[in-house]
Each structure stands twice: as structure tokens, then as C-alpha cells.
Chain A
Amino acid sequence: MRSIDPLRQQAIRAALRIRDHLVGACRRNRQVKLPCALWDETTKCVGGLESAIARGWHLATEGLEVDLDHKVRQLRNELDTCFTELRRTSDTGRIATAGEIVADLIALNDDFDGLAIDTRECQIHVHTDPIVLEETALGSFQIALRWDRIGQHRAYEVIAEAPRCPDHDSEVTHPHVRDQLLCEGDGAAAIRKALAEGRLLDFFALVRQVLETYNPGSAYLQLDRWDGVACHDCGYHMPGDDYGTCDRCEQPLCSDCSAGCERCDRYICNSCNATCEACKANLCEGCLQVVARSGRLLCPNCFEQALEEESDDSSSTENDPPSAPTGPAPASAALATNPLCVVEAPVPA
């Protein structure tokens, strides 16, 4: 008895299932809707016409004849549409035969490394050669197809074998791959068509060609920004081993964007930088204090001054006649510490 090699045997099993799925998907998409409602209307129209003729209602007969003519034409058009749709969707000639799918799977084994066919999981995967784009080595990728998902969202994934992600985004493994999803760009239509028609060799080849092509104009991240980090404030790209961070929020910061707090000398980013509303000094948020009554952000010096003014106001209010319905809040209550502040507000004597 002649033995079949294991790959061919597996390929035949998979091919039969893949073709079943593709033909099934094609049939599921078939939408042949007979014009039943229009047929009923036309039948009624014929009945009406017959009785109009029988009763000698010439005017009604003329009107119903026009009506019937219109309905029959409409019916013919609708049936033509059904016929076209039926022919289009039952034409499975565009779906690869099981033999062609087997040939594709065997050719895949020559074209790619590590072909694996898992009939239980309905999965086929291959490995690309290591991919190098613009001198950036990205390693090899696994292209994993779930044939039972062809025609649905995310029928395949592109998985980096040894992900070499940019420093600040672990989801991006390739300029055109994020979260194991290839952004197919110019290849989208051809990839979809190859999958729908069961041309698996074309599908895997197209995905590989997208992976081997770099389109800097439309990448998740450009390769010249792959290594290193972007300044949190201005986006300037800095080498991965030579950049500063904000002393408060620890975000990457370039030298142009880091500002020194005039009080504690820490280097801070724009988000953590604030200005005293009285003297306009630049301080970090931690060194500013908020006056509860007015909500003003002040540096410690201006805060002290505000405190004294509050105390003076408080003293003068105490000397006022008791006719005032409500007195000002005590200075201690009027002043509060910024929740972010590391320097406590001075307590009034």
C-alpha cells in the first residue's frame, strides 16, 4: 500500500475543512429574497382587473392595466436580481478547490519555516525569516491563521517571536503591527480576497511582504524613534540611555523643556511647573501653596504675606461692632495647604 507523507495527509484534512468553511461562509452570505409581497400585490391587481373587466368598468380597467404592467415589470426586475444573486453566490469557482489548498499548504512548507497545521484548533501558522527594516532588526514573526475565522474580524495574528518593542510601547512589535494585528495598508484588499478565495499561499506571501516593507509615512512608530524615548513635553526623541526625567512625575524630559523650581531646585516638566500668582516666580507644584479663601496659588514668601494680611483683616474685624452678621473665617481656616504640596503651610501664631 502506498503511504502518504504526514504533511500531505495533514494538508488534505485541513484543506477539506478550509474549503467547507469557505463554501459555507459564501452560502451564509447568500441573500436571495423572493419578492413575495410584490407577488401578492400583483395577484390582487390581477383579481381587481378581472372583476373590473367583468363589470364593464372601462376607466377602472385602464387604470388597473397600467398598474399591473408596472407591477409585473417590477416583479421581473426583482426576480432578475434574485437570479443574478443566486448565480453569483453559488459560483464557488472562485473558491480554491481542496486540491489547490493542499498544493498551497505544501508550497507554504517550502516557502516558510515552521509550517504547523492544527486541525483541532483550525489553525495554520508559519514563521518569517528575521525581518530587518532600515537596519533595525525586528526578529522573525509568526503568522497564525485561524481558518474558522476567515470572513470575520481578526482571522489572523502576527506574533513577534522575540519582541523587540520600542522602549515606551510594548504593544508595537513592528512599524505596522500593534497588539499582534497587522495594519495591512495597501495590502488590505488583496489579503482579504486571497483569504476569501482560499488562496493561502498568496495570503501568507502578502502578509510577509507587508512585514518586509517599511512605510514611514504611515507607521505606528517610525524606526528612527524605535530606540530611545520621546520628551514628555515637546516629543523630541532622545537616546534611550541619555535622557532626564521630571523630578516630580518622572516622565522623560529633554534639557530644553526641563525648568528648575526656584525654591527647591528640582527639574520639572511643564505639567508639574506652576507660577506664583503674586510674584510670578516659577516653582514646582509642591512648593506652591493655595490660599483657601481665594484659591490663589502662591510661593511661600507671598503666602506668608497673604497670611499677615489675613491676620490684619481678622484683627480689624474683631474690633468691628457686633452688628456684622458673619465674621471672616480665622486666618488659619482661610489658609490651606495644597494637597500636592510637600511644604506645609505655616500655622498662624
Chain B
Amino acid sequence: MRVLVINNDGGGFADYVEVPDGTTVRDMFQREVRSGRPDGYLIRVNRQPVPSDQVLREGDRISFTPVKVEGAG
């Protein structure tokens, strides 16, 4: 199935990817955000916060936004 993945870490990434049926939010996090812990991210599916064991569905929009984003001066 195809889901829209948005990773707002670093340079930002948004694209559709193919994932196997039964893929959970946790699986996607591990796949897309390799160096990070889930509690350091706002994780949303279709713009709503979700539990990590939620199974993704065809066409879902999953986004990872880091909680800490260091500004400069």
C-alpha cells in the first residue's frame, strides 16, 4: 500500500512510499527516523496524534516533527 510520509527532521522530506500491509506507526518511525526516539517527535497520522501500535492504511499521511528544533541567532 502507499502512504504519504513526511519527515520534518533535517532538510524535510515528503513523498509517497510503498509499505507492506500491517505496517504500524512504530515500524514507520524506525524506518524513516533512524537516529531518534519516538518521544522526541510529534507523530501524527492524518494530522492527529496516534498511538505507536496503530496500523497504517492505504493513503494515510504520517508525519514526524522533532519536538526540539534548535534555532540560531
Contacts and interface: CB of A to CB of B under 8 A. Distances in A.
Q: Do A and B bind each other?
A: yes
Interface of A: 94, 100, 103-104, 107, 175-176, 178, 182-187, 189-194, 197, 199, 201-202, 205-206, 209-213, 215, 218-221
Interface in B1-35: 6, 8-12, 14-15
A194 B65 CA distance: 11
A129 to B, nearest CB: 14
A329 B3 CA distance: 94
B47 A218 contact: no
A311 B69 CA distance: 74
Contacts of A185: 69-72
A219 B70 CA distance: 10
A176 B12 contact: no
B73 A175 contact: yes
B11 A176 contact: no
Nearest to B14: A197
Contacts of B63: 202
A184 B65 contact: no
Residue among A175, A191, A209 having the largest count of chain B Cβ atoms under 10 Å:
A209
B67 interface: yes
3 closest cross-chain pairs (CB), A and B: A176-B71, A190-B12, A185-B72
Q: Is the interface of A mostly helix, strand, loop or mixed?
A: helix
A190 B73 contact: no
A231 B47 CA distance: 49
A175 B67 CA distance: 17
B72 A205 contact: no
B42 A205 contact: yes
Contacts of A182: 71
Contact of B70 (A194, A202, A215): A215
B68 interface: yes
A94 B66 CA distance: 21
Nearest to A219: B73
Given A104-B47, A190-B11, A193-B11, A199 B69 contact: no
Nearest to A197: B14
Nearest to B49: A111
Contacts of A103: 46-47
B14 A107 contact: no
A209 B69 contact: yes
Contact of B68 (A183, A194, A209, A219): A209
A206 B69 contact: yes
Contact of A218 (B10, B68, B71): B71
Given A183-B71, A190-B69, A221-B73, 4 more contacts: A176-B73, A186-B69, A205-B42, A210-B70
Interface string B36-73: 00000010001110000000000001010111111111
Given A107-B47, A201-B47, A202-B6, A189 B11 contact: yes
A292 B1 CA distance: 90
B70 A186 contact: yes
